[in-house]
Structures are given as structure tokens and as C-alpha cells.
Amino acid sequence: MTATHSTRMLILGSGPAGLSAAIYGARAGLAPIVVQGMQPGGQLTITTDVENYPGFKDVIQGPWLMEQMQAQAEHVGAQMMYDQIVDVDLSQRPFRLTGDGGVVYVADTLVICTGAQAKWLGVEGEEHLQGKGVSACATCDGFFYRGKKVVVIGGGNTAVEEALYLTNHSHDVTLIHRRDTLRAEKILQERLHAHPNIKVLWNKAVDKFVGGGTPEGLVGVDLIDTVTGEKSHEPTDGGFVAIGHHPATELFTGKLPTDEGYLLVEKGTTRTSIPGVFAAGDVTDKIYRQAVTAAGMGCMAALDVEKFLAEADFEAMVEA
């Protein structure tokens, strides 16, 4: 017989946004259920050193931080479900969602915290050297490359912004782009070209991230000229892949409005276009994409849920 779980607050995703929403929701007495998804703990579970999360003087480990957040959420009353949602019915409240094993979740409110994943190149050495010199977030990891040589791969706004940001830490930043023109906004291009510590390698594609040393870390990138096919090598201590992010919103295609795949919410809130459905964290944030901002939005979502349910309960009482 198929199991059914009913809750006043269902949270999809267990990264900083989802777990923060769970903590605040549980403390409000909503007994939230968290469906953890494909990657319990979110992107921080594949992040080693975390140095910019408030409250910790020393470097902490991403997986440890998420373990602590989950333990805190469970301690105050949130329930964790190791499941992945494959079907969503938002046509009426309570909402009805189905897990990949057939488990049904019936929820008065839904908080979507499914996050976004960085797009990767898919070349040799990339996955192996993640956290060992290869990164997709300059804001997160740039601090570790103070005084070192770094490269940024990409040609859009994200890549140019990452390259400019990295000049705060490195005096040797190279932007690698597979074409001969950038897609970034003109004002960003002007800032890039005017910066004395940034050079651009045009018509170059990364063929391989090269590791070495003890302990092993990134030592360079092998390149292929996209016009001539000529091979070359660029030594570097850090490689930042900046070709965009992919928000995990496939479940909600055609059901909730999006902008470039990111869920749209009312300004200053976490409310989506459907009453009772909220979104927080990277799934709705294409600008900041930080653990601390995701956690803050998770808090906002829980407060929005609490207010929504209080108003709904009052209206039901009046009608009765």
C-alpha cells in the first residue's frame, strides 16, 4: 500500500535554504517535512573549505556544516525524507506531490529549495580536481588563491564578473574564451579590458585540467585553439569554470513562471504566483548564489509560510 504523508509545510531540498526554512518552520510548530532530493545537503556537501559562512573563525568543511544544520532542524522537530519528487500537482490546495518510489506527500504549503547546479565543461580532470584547484565559484573560493595565478573559463557576464572579482586576490588572472568576442555586457567588457591584471586568451577551449604536486592539485590547463586546432598549455594554480548555472526547476515547468529557468517570486518575499507555494535559495537567485543568502531566504520562506497559514486559518474560522 502506498504511503501518504500529510504536512502543513513541505520543503523540497535540503541545502542551506531548505534546512533554514525547516528550522524556522519547526520552531513555529508547523512540523515541516523535508524531502532531501538527489543531493542531500545541497552543493555544500561537495565543497571542502568554507571560510565565509558567518559564525566560524576557522575554516570549516561544507559537509560538516550541512550535517550540523540538518541535526539542528531535526532537533527542533523537522522530519527528513530521503526521497526525490517526480510529480507535482499545484492545481489546488492541499498540494499533492509524488516521490520516485510512489510515496505521496499532501501539503498545505510548499517551499521550493531545489537549488541550482553549476554547469561544468565535462573535460578530463575536471571532476577529479574539484576542490583541489578547480571551482565554479570565485566568490566562494577566490580567497584561497591570494597571490597565485588563476584562470577563468567562459565569455558571459558570470565569467567577466568572476575574473574582475579575482583581481582582489590575484595579480595574474587569465580569461579563457572559446570565441573571439565576449557575450558579456559592454560595460563589463570595458572594465575587463581596462584592468592591468587580466589578460584574455581568445579562441581557446580547455581540453584537460592537469594535476600534479604533493598533495595533488591543479597545476595547469591543456588548451586547444578552436580555429587552428593548435594545442597549448597554460600553467595555473586555480581554474574557475564560469559558464553558467542550471536551476533545478524542471518539475515546475509550465506550472510556475520562471526567468532563465529561475523561479520568480514577488519582490521582497518568497511568494510565487501560486498562493501557498514559496521559493528560496539558488532556485530563485541568479545573482548572489551564496550559502548565507540562501539560508536567509529560507528563513524568509518559513516566516512567509507562517503568515500565510495564520491568515488561511483565520479565514476558515470566520467562514465556519
CATH number, position 163: 3.50.50.60
Cell 547546479 identifies what position?
117
The reply to whether 113 belongs to the active site is no
What's the grid cell of residue 48?
571542502
Query: Could you list the residue range(s) of the whole structural domain that residue 55 is in?
Result: 4-117+245-319
Distance CA 141, CA 319 (A): 54
Per residue in 105-127, pLDDT tens? 999 999 999 998 888 999 999 99
For residue 297, what is the enclosing H or E element?
A: helix 291-319
Same-domain status, 109 and 14: yes
Does 12 share its domain with 83?
yes
The answer on 254 and 108 residing in a single domain is yes
Does 299 participate in catalysis according to the annotation? no
Cβ-in-10-Å burial (0-12, 13-18, 19+) of 58 comes to: exposed
pLDDT value of position 117: 84
Pick out the chain residues at pLDDT < 70: 1, 46-48, 320
For residue 163, give every residue at least 6 positions away whose Cβ sits within 8 Å of its Cβ, in sequence order, or none: 138, 152, 173, 175, 192, 198, 242
CA 29 from centroid of its chain's CA atoms: 28
150 and 237 together in one domain: yes
Residue 47: per-residue pLDDT: 67
Specify whether 174 is located in the same domain as 35: no
Residue ending a domain, choose from 201, 219, 242: 242
In this structure, are residues 26 and 111 in contact, taking their beta carbons and an 8 Å threshold? no
**Which residues partner with 259 through β-bridges?**
262
Residues 158 and 299 in one domain: no
Active site residue 140: yes
Write down the catalytic residue from 140, 237, 285, 304: 140
Q: Are residues 126 and 85 located together in one domain of the fold?
A: no
Write the DSSP symbol of residue 264: P
Catalytic residue among 83, 108, 141, 282: 141
CA 307 to chain centre: 27
Within 33-114, residue ranges assigned H as helices are 62-75
State the pLDDT at residue 198.
Answer: 98
Residue 206: predicted pLDDT:
98
- State the pLDDT at residue 1: 60
Q: Are residues 166 and 274 in the same domain?
A: no
Q: What letter represents residue 14's amino acid?
A: S
Do 19 and 105 share a domain, yes or no? yes
User: Positive or negative CA dihedral for 284, 289, 292, 293?
Assistant: negative
| Predicted local distance difference test score (pLDDT) of residue 245 | 84
Contacts with 291 (C-beta within 8 Å, 6 or more apart), sequence order: 15, 16, 44, 50, 53, 65
pLDDT of residue 247: 93
* 0.85 exceeded by pTM: no
- Could you tell me if 216 and 250 lie in one domain? no
> In the prediction, which pLDDT does 48 show?
64
> Which of 242, 262, 297 delimits the end of a domain?
242
Residue after which a domain boundary falls, among 242, 263, 288: 242
Predicted confidence at residue 103, as pLDDT, reads: 96
The count of domains in the chain is 2
Catalytic-labelled residue, pool 49, 137, 225, 299: 137
Q: Please tell me whether residue 97 adopts helix, strand or coil conformation.
A: strand
Pair (135, 230) in one structural domain:
yes
Could you tell me if 20 and 105 lie in one domain? Answer: yes
